[in-house]
A and B are shown apart, each in its own frame.
Chain A
Amino acid sequence: MQYLLSVIHDQLELAPSDEMAAIDEFNDRLQADGHWVFAGGLGFPNTATVIDNRGATPVVTDGPFVETKEFLAGFWIIEAPDLDTALKLAADGSKACNRKVEVRAFL
């Protein structure tokens, strides 16, 4: 079972170096324990571009598809047998990156 751990934040700032170190350490542990699938930090939402090509020609819009106070700052995709395991890893991830983390299972 794979889970998406979304890192939620409300400030346009990058993680300071001590947080980056904690995140690296957490990532190493995910890999060592076989939970790692993929992870990444994202550019700020104001650098996003939305493209809608459902019609005749693509429509390009500057900015995120929805303006919110809180936004997706990064994510992990992990492999875990059940929600209890995923929640434990998310708790450690939240501690490491010092942000809230949403846990959602892939279909």
Chain B
Amino acid sequence: MSGIDVEDAVNQAYHAEWGRLVAALTRRFGDLDLAEEAAAEAFAAAVERWPSDGVPANPGAWLTTTAKRKAIDRIRRESKRDGKHQEAQVLFEDQPPEPLGAVEDDRLRLIFTCCHPALAMPARVALTLRMLGGLTVPEIARAFLVQESAMAQRITRAKAKIKAARIPYRVPSVEDLRGRVSGVLAVLYLIFNEGYLATGPESGPVRADLTAEAIRLTRLVRDLLPDDGEAAGLLALMVLTEARRTARISATGELVTLDEQDRGGWDAALIAEGQALVRERLASGQAPGPYQLLAAINAVHTSARDVRDTDWSQIVALYDRLAGLDPSPVIALNRAVAVAEMDGPGVALAAVDRLASELAGYHAYYATRAELLRRLGRGPEARLAYDKAIELAGNSAEAATLKRRRGQLAT
């Protein structure tokens, strides 16, 4: 086997096994720190040994055995060095000797621990990416434009709190499950959105590593909780959005809005997957939650081969249902965009203007207003709205598009 093949095998195993390994070790040893370090050491051993020994027939089993041995070595070493013999014994006795292996629930437990509501949102995001996603601290720091040392500290503090406050390592009880799942999905959606509409002047407009990781983790949650409609809905929403990713950024680095996108550039496989999930949810007959409704809206968009074929009345109807669940002004703003296509820009502008006080600091409010004013031929007002939208836009590609559109106004 060539060196490149072995490298591939290690990378593949890393993607497939990291979260599983950390989760299984956490259950066995009751310590996130130890689990993380032992898992990292096992992969380091794979990098060292697989090129000469060959890739094992079952890489997952090899990594599990190796990591477990590393963990026990580490406990022995530390108890010898610090005279912590007793503590190590407690650690062993505390944990009933459960078999290490293919218990699917391990990763689910780990997700609920990492996304625990007692942790601050940035800590939940970082911990989930590190423990389940296997992203390194520098990678996570780069993704969120935070100093590496600050990110390391954020993760260390979260782990310390989990230990000290005894945040449990288990799937919540049935009565709490729904609320806790929605907390997990919120973390994953935040990771996805940060990737999809990346902020910061230094950052590229899209961070495909974050969107990919969010989709991978959401797929996992969906597999582990197949009956949860919102997990399916979020996965559908993500893949239907991701399907348009490459068509969304032009060759010159501008954000291309939905109506101007080359629909031939959309990823057909992802669209098929997302639409199948939406159909599955519709067939369930259960009342949809917000993610399912957003996914359905995206399913309507992606089923139109040309923007002119879009079924706007259905989109407005879905936004109405969404507003019934979540009366947020951002949803009302998006609904107005659909209303503009159905009833004209004048009706939409009236709806948008009613949101002025609530959305005063939100770039999309001004961008939407600017577009509607432009279509109504109110150039000078449109220009002012573009100015404000450009000032507030955090995404570099979005700002570029807004500048171009402003430049196209008749003077």
Contact = CB atoms under 8 A, between A and B. Distances in A.
Interface of A: 1, 81-84, 87, 103-105, 107
Interface residues of B, number: 9
B118 interface: yes
A105 B172 contact: no
B167 interface: yes
Nearest to B169: A82
B165 A83 contact: yes
A82 B168 contact: yes
B308 interface: no
Contacts of B164: 105, 107
16 contacts: A81-B166, A81-B168, A82-B166, A82-B167, A83-B116, A83-B118, A83-B165, A83-B166, A83-B168, A84-B167, A84-B168, A84-B172, A103-B165, A105-B165, A105-B166, A107-B164
A83 B118 CA distance: 9
Contacts of B172: 84
Contacts of A107: 164
A84 B172 CA distance: 9
Nearest to A3: B165
Contacts of A87: 118
Interface in B163-185: 164-168, 172, 176
Contacts of A81: 166, 168
Given A83-B118, A84-B167, 12 more contacts: A1-B166, A81-B168, A82-B166, A83-B116, A83-B165, A83-B167, A83-B168, A84-B168, A84-B176, A87-B118, A104-B165, A105-B164
Pick the most buried of B116, B166, B168: most chain A CB atoms within 10 A of its CB: B166
Contacts of A103: 165
Nearest to B112: A84
Contacts of A84: 167-168, 172, 176
Interface in B93-131: 116, 118
Nearest to B166: A82
A107 B167 CA distance: 14
B356 to A, nearest CB: 34
A1 B176 CA distance: 22
Interface in B141-188: 164-168, 172, 176
Nearest to B164: A105
Top 8 A-B pairs, shortest CB-CB distance: A82-B168, A83-B165, A105-B165, A82-B166, A83-B167, A83-B166, A1-B166, A84-B168
A100 to B, nearest CB: 15
Nearest to B162: A83
Contacts of A105: 164-166
Nearest to B173: A84
A107 B172 CA distance: 24
A92 to B, nearest CB: 14
Indicate the member of A84, A105, A107 with the most B CB atoms within 10 Å. A84
